[in-house]
A and B are shown apart, each in its own frame.
Chain A
Amino acid sequence: MGLLENRFDDNIVVEKLDKLLSWARSTSPWFFQFGTACCAIEMMAAAASRHDLMRIGIIPRSSPRQADVMIVAGTVTMKMALRVKKLYEQMADPKYVVAMGSCATSGGPYWQHGYHVLKGVDLVIPVDVYVPGCPPRPEALIEGLLKLQEQILEGRPLTRKMG
C-alpha cells in the first residue's frame, strides 16, 4: 500500500468501493413479504424464531419499494402472474428473485393438467436462484438465500454495464 502505509491507525480497512457496495447489499437482502401458496408457510417458518432469517440480515418488507429480493413462494396462476410481474416492476433496482418450490420453478404438480398455472415464474420475471422442493424446508430456503448472497457478493455494481 506504499502511500498509505503506517499513516493511519490499525482500525482502518482499505477496500474497493465496488466490493464494499456488493458486501453491503449481500448482507441485507430484504425480501418482499408475500406468498402465493403453501410454500409461503415454509417461508414464514424460515423467517420465524426457530430458523430466524434475521441473523443473516434478511427481513421481510411489506412494500415492493423497500424490498431487494422477491421470494416467489408458491403456485403462480395466470391471473397472479400479471400481478407478480407488476410487483416485480415496482421494486427498486437492484432486485433479485428466488423461485421457491416446484410450482414457482416449473409449474410443479400442475405441469400436466393445470390449465391456469404458470409453468415456472421465469416465464415472466428473471430468476436468480431456484429452490427445489414441494414445499422446500426452511433449511433449503436458507441455503438458497445463502447462494443468492454469494451471487450478490460476486456482483460489481459500479463496473456493471448498463443496458
Chain B
Amino acid sequence: MSEDIQVLIDDVVAKALAGDMDPINNIEDRVTRSKAKAALVKAKRSQPETEIKSKASEVSENSDVKTKDTIEHIVIASLTKNFSNFLDGEQNGEWIQMKAENWFDIAKHLKENEDLYFDSLQCNTGFDLEGGMLESRYNLHSMKHLHAIEIRIKVSIENPNIPSVESLWRVADWFERETYDMFGINFTGHRDLRRILLPEDWEGWPLRKNYEEQETYHGIVVPKVKEGWE
C-alpha cells in the first residue's frame, strides 16, 4: 500500500469517526474504499476498548493485592500458622512440594479449614522421578471456593511410605490402591491397601523405571526375547 493511499485512508477514517461518512463513500477506487471501511471498523472496535481499559485500571489498583496472593500463597500462609517444617525444598508457585511426615494432619487442615475447604480430591497419581525417588501428586479442589491446588510429596524408593488420606477423602481409597499397585508406594493407615488392577500375586511394580517383567506367571511363559517368536 503506497503512502499516499494510507494518508488518504487515515484522513477519511478520522472524518468518519467525527461523524462525516461522505469522504469514505466518495472514494472512487473500489479497493481503497473497502480498505478505508475496514480501517474504520477496526478503529471503531478499538475505541471502546481503550475507554474500558482506562476505567479498569482504576479498579485494578485495589484488586491488584488480591491477584498477587495466589491460592498456593494462601495455603502456605495458612499452614505455616499451624505446622512447622512441612515444605520440602524450594517452591515454584505452581504446586506445593511437601514432606511426607505430617501429611495426614495437613490434609485434614486443608479439608476442614473454612477458608481453604478443599472438599474434593480430584486425582492422585504416582511418578518415578528416577534417581531413587518416587512422587505422589494430589490435585485438590474446593467446591465451595472454586479454587484448586496441586500437592507433591517425594519419597525415597527404599522407604516409600506416605500417610494415607483415604479416611478423609473416600475417593482416595482406589486412587491410592492404584498408585500402590503401579509404583509400590506404601500408604500407611490405608484400611484396604491391596493391588487394584493386577492380580494379587503379581511380582514387582510395573510403572517403576527399573521394572523387569517376570518370566512366568502361573506357568504361563512371558516371552522376553521376542525374535524367536516371530
Given contacts A79-B199, A111-B226, A119-B229, contact A124 B206 (CB under 8 A): no
Given contacts A115-B206, A115-B211, A116-B198, contact A82 B218 (CB under 8 A): yes
Measured CB to CB, the nearest residue on chain A to B217 is A78
Contacts of A44 in B (CB 8 A): none
- A123 vs B211: C-alpha distance when bound (angstroms): 24
Q: Is B52 an interface residue (CB 8 A)?
A: no
Measured CB to CB, the nearest residue on chain A to B195 is A79
Contacts of B198 in A (CB 8 A): 79, 116
Size of B's binding interface in residues, CB under 8 A: 14
Interface of A is mostly: loop
Contacts of A81 in B (CB 8 A): 217-218, 220
Q: Is B31 an interface residue (CB 8 A)?
A: no
* Inter-subunit contact B199/A78 (CB<8 Å): yes
Contacts of B222 in A (CB 8 A): 78, 115, 119
- A81 vs B127: C-alpha distance when bound (angstroms): 29
Contacts of B105 in A (CB 8 A): none
Q: Which of B166-221 contact A (CB under 8 A)?
A: 198-199, 202, 206, 211, 213, 217-218, 220-221
Q: Is B132 an interface residue (CB 8 A)?
A: no
Q: Is B23 an interface residue (CB 8 A)?
A: no
* Inter-subunit contact A118/B220 (CB<8 Å): yes
Q: Which of A106-124 contact B (CB under 8 A)?
A: 111-112, 115-116, 118-119, 123-124
Contacts of A115 in B (CB 8 A): 206, 211, 213, 222
- Give the shortest distance, in Å, between A83 (CB) and chain B (any CB): 10
* Inter-subunit contact A78/B226 (CB<8 Å): no
Interface string of A122-141 (1 = CB under 8 A from B): 01100000000000000000
- A119 vs B213: C-alpha distance when bound (angstroms): 13
Q: Which of B84-142 contact A (CB under 8 A)?
A: none
- A71 vs B222: C-alpha distance when bound (angstroms): 23
- A119 vs B221: C-alpha distance when bound (angstroms): 9
Q: Which of A40-92 contact B (CB under 8 A)?
A: 78-79, 81-82
* Inter-subunit contact A119/B206 (CB<8 Å): no
Contacts of A119 in B (CB 8 A): 222-223, 229
Contacts of A82 in B (CB 8 A): 199, 218
- A144 vs B206: C-alpha distance when bound (angstroms): 36
- Give the shortest distance, in Å, between B74 (CB) and chain A (any CB): 43
- Give the shortest distance, in Å, between A111 (CB) and chain B (any CB): 7
Contacts of B229 in A (CB 8 A): 119
- Give the shortest distance, in Å, between B221 (CB) and chain A (any CB): 7
Given contacts A81-B217, A112-B226, A116-B206, 11 further A-B contacts (CB under 8 A): A78-B218, A78-B220, A78-B222, A79-B199, A82-B218, A111-B226, A115-B213, A119-B222, A119-B223, A123-B221, A124-B220
Residues of chain B whose beta carbon lies under 8 Å from any beta carbon of chain A: 198-199, 202, 206, 211, 213, 217-218, 220-223, 226, 229
The 6 closest A-B pairs by CB, nearest first: A79-B199, A115-B213, A78-B217, A119-B223, A123-B220, A115-B206
